[in-house]
Amino acid sequence: SYTTDTKSREENKKTIESLYSLSVDIKKIRRLKEWVLLQDVAYVKEIAGILQEMGADETAVANILERCPEAILHSPAEINSQRALWQLVCQNEKQLIKLIEQFPESFFTTKYHQNQKANIMFFQELGLKNNIITRFLTSAPNIFYNPVEKNKNMIETLQRNYLNLGGSEANMKIWILKLLSQNPFILLNTSTAIQENLEFLQKNDFTDREVLQLLSKLKGFIFQISSTTMQKSMVFSKNVFKCSDQELKQLVLKCPALLYYSVPVLEERLEGLLKEGISVAQIRETPMVLELTTQIVQYRIKKLSALGYDIKSGSLESLNGTKKDFEVTYGKIQSKKERPIFNPVAPIHIED
C-alpha cells in the first residue's frame, strides 16, 4: 500500500529529524528500505512512545526502528491493537518487548490483524500453550495470515487421517499438538498434498501403523515434500544399497531421512561419508548417519580419531544423534581411553 517509486520523491524531513532525535542510524534505513523515508505520513514519535511505554529503552527503540523501519508507517491505533493481541499470549509486557526486539517484522505486520486474532483464539481452544503460540507468532507468522477456516480444515484433515491410520481417539489430541509444536508450517499445506503423500506411502506397501510411525518420526515434514521427490529418493537408496523393496522399507523406517531428503542431498552426504573411508555396508547398517550434514560428520570423525577411535572398523552409531547425544558418546569413549588398565587399589589375589 506504500509507494516505492523513489525517483520523483524527496525524503520526508520531519521523519528524518524525528529518527535522528531517537539516535536511529538513518544510513542503515537508506541502504535497506529508503522508500520508508519518502512517505508523506509517518508516526515516528508515537510508535517510539508506545515501545517506551512497554519498557523499551532508547537503544532498543533505535534497534527496532532500524531493523523494521516500516513500523513508523503504522498508526498508533493499529500498533495498540497489535499490542493487545500479542498480550493474549505473552506473560507480561517485558516478555512482549523482548519478542518485538527479536522479531520486529512479525509484530509490525498488522495487515492480517483479524485473521491473527481468530487464529490465536483457535490455537488456544485447540489446547496449545501460550508459549508455543508466541513461538509460532515469531518464527512462523505466515500461519496466522491464513483465514482461521483454512487452519481448522487442515487440523481436521490431520485428525481424520490419524484415526483412519489406526490412531486412537484418546491419543489424537496429544499427537496433533505435538505435531503442530514440532512443525507449525504443516498448516501452510493443502489437504490434497497430505492425501497424495499418504496414498504414496500406502501404495509402497507401508502398513497404516508404519505410516503413522513415519508421520511422528518426520514431525510432519513428510507433508512438505512431493510424492515425486519421495519416489526419486527411494529409487536412489534402493540402487545405492542394492536391496529389495522389503529391505528398503525397513531402511526407511529406520531412517525416514531416506524418504525426506532429495537425491542431490543424499548424494552429497553419501559422497562425504565414502571420502572418509566409510563403506556402503556400514552406512546400510546405520543409515541414520545420513541425517547429518557432511560438515557435522567430518567434525565428529575428527574428534573421535583424536581419541584413537577408528570409524572405518568401528560402528557408525558413535557418529549418530543430536549434538548432546554425540557429546555423551564422545565422553564415554574418552573416559574408557583414560581409564588405567591396572587398578592400584584392587585387592591382590595370591594363590596359597
Considering the domain boundaries, does residue 33 fall inside one?
yes
Give the count of domains, the chain. 1
pLDDT at position 150 is 94
Structural domain boundaries enclosing 51: 10-110
pLDDT at position 312 is 80
In the block, residue with C-alpha cell 548417519: 289
Considering the domain boundaries, does residue 174 fall inside one?
no
pLDDT at position 1 is 46
Considering the domain boundaries, does residue 186 fall inside one?
no
Rounded to the nearest angstrom, the gap between the alpha carbon of residue 251 and the centroid of all alpha carbons in its chain is 25
C-alpha span between 233 and 1 (Å, rounded)? 43
Considering the domain boundaries, does residue 315 fall inside one?
no
For the beta carbon of residue 83, count every other beta carbon within 10 angstroms.
Answer: 20
Contacts of 289 (CB under 8 A, 6+ apart): 273, 283, 297, 316, 319, 320
Backbone angles phi, psi at 218, to 5 degrees: -90, 5
For the beta carbon of residue 113, count every other beta carbon within 10 angstroms.
Answer: 14
Using a 10 angstrom Cβ sphere, with 0-12 exposed, 13-18 middle and 19 or more buried, the burial of residue 300 is: buried
C-alpha span between 25 and 47 (Å, rounded)? 17
C-alpha span between 248 and 245 (Å, rounded)? 5
pLDDT at position 103 is 94
C-alpha span between 27 and 31 (Å, rounded)? 6
pLDDT at position 247 is 92
pLDDT at position 52 is 95
Considering the domain boundaries, does residue 260 fall inside one?
no
Considering the domain boundaries, does residue 181 fall inside one?
no
- Nearest in space to 146 (alpha carbons), one of 182, 122, 179: 122
Please report the DSSP string for 248-286 in residue order: HHHHHHH-THHHHS-HHHHHHHHHHHHHTT--HHHHHHS
Please answer whether residues 272 and 300 qualify as being in contact, where contact means their C-beta atoms are separated by less than 8 angstroms. no
Question: For every one of its 352 residues, what pLDDT tens digit does the chain have, with 9 covering 90 and above?
Answer: 455 554 447 899 999 999 999 999 999 999 989 999 999 999 999 999 999 999 999 999 999 999 999 999 999 999 999 999 999 999 999 999 999 999 999 999 988 999 999 999 999 999 999 999 999 999 999 999 999 999 999 999 999 999 999 989 999 999 999 989 888 998 988 888 888 888 999 999 899 999 988 887 777 777 778 889 999 999 999 999 999 999 999 999 998 889 889 999 999 999 999 998 888 999 999 899 998 899 999 999 898 888 888 888 777 888 888 888 888 888 888 887 766 555 555 555 554 4
- Please give the model's pTM, rounded to 2 decimal places: 0.77
For the beta carbon of residue 349, count every other beta carbon within 10 angstroms.
Answer: 5
Cell (9 digits) for 22: 531517537
Q: State the Cα torsion 50-53-55-60 to the nearest 10°.
A: 40
pLDDT at position 7 is 47
Considering the domain boundaries, does residue 255 fall inside one?
no
Q: Cα dihedral sign for 162, 168, 171, 173?
A: positive
pLDDT at position 182 is 87
